[in-house]
Amino acid sequence: MNRSADRVAELGGDWESIREGYYPGDRSAKDACVLDCAEALVAARSGGDALGAAFHALGLVQMYGYVAWEPGPGVEERVVAVLGEVVAEGRAVDCAHDGHPGEGDVESLIERFPEILPLILDASDDAWEGVEDLDGLDEEGADGAAAASAWRCPRNIAAFAREAILNIRPDAAV
């Protein structure tokens, strides 16, 4: 994946505009954006790119509202399948965190994704310094490494993915 700041900002902008309902183009253009994100997630996972996988998984989470209400044929099924794999993989991982942001108020955190998603890809934990109020995980005195670790944790990404699936398909067994 091209991780230039411009490309990351472009993807984040596209995903946010789909979430907010002002993405330019018709349904097929929106579907293409969502499916591109899903395929990038699959590629990152199969290539062992944990940061890229987390970035794209959260991108799909950011767009779940569109997927729940307006997608073209096959889009919902593909997104639910790909996010389901993220949930299954995340559940299999042990971690030492007391909690994860994705277990809290997901919708208010999704509003912060334009700020958070670029940090997911930044291998430096220093970028997380000064980011406040991330669901109580970066209490005063906590360092950027603690916030980065909690947000990038596969169990956190799985928690967000599970919430997205349940919003897309409320009767899903995840």
Q: Does residue 34 register a pLDDT over 60?
A: yes
d(CA 117, CA 113): 5
DSSP structure string for the chain: ----HHHHHHHHHHHHHHHHT--SS-HHHHHHHHHHHHHHHHHHHHTT-HHHHHHHHHHHHHTHHHHHHS--TTHHHHHHHHHHHHHHHHHT-----S--GGGS-HHHHHTTHHHHHHHHH-S-GGGGTT---STTTT-TT--HHHHHHHHH-HHHHHHHHHHHHHHH-TT---
Q: Kindly report the average pLDDT of the chain as a whole number.
A: 89
Q: Does residue 132 register a pLDDT over 80?
A: no
pLDDT of residue 138: 45
With bands split at pLDDT 50, 70 and 90, how would you rate the model's confidence at 142?
low
* CA 24 to chain CA mean position, Å: 22
Q: Which pair of structure tokens corresponds to residue 83? A: 């996010």
Q: Does residue 137 register a pLDDT over 70?
A: no
Mean pLDDT of 47-71: 96
What is the percentage of the chain residues whose pLDDT exceeds 90? Answer: 67
Q: Which pair of structure tokens corresponds to residue 81? A: 């399948």
With bands split at pLDDT 50, 70 and 90, how would you rate the model's confidence at 128?
confident
**Helix 27-46 vs helix 5-20: angle between axes, to the nearest 10 degrees?**
130
Which of residues 59 and 129 earns the better pLDDT score? 59
Q: pTM of the predicted model, to two decimals? A: 0.92
With bands split at pLDDT 50, 70 and 90, how would you rate the model's confidence at 104?
confident
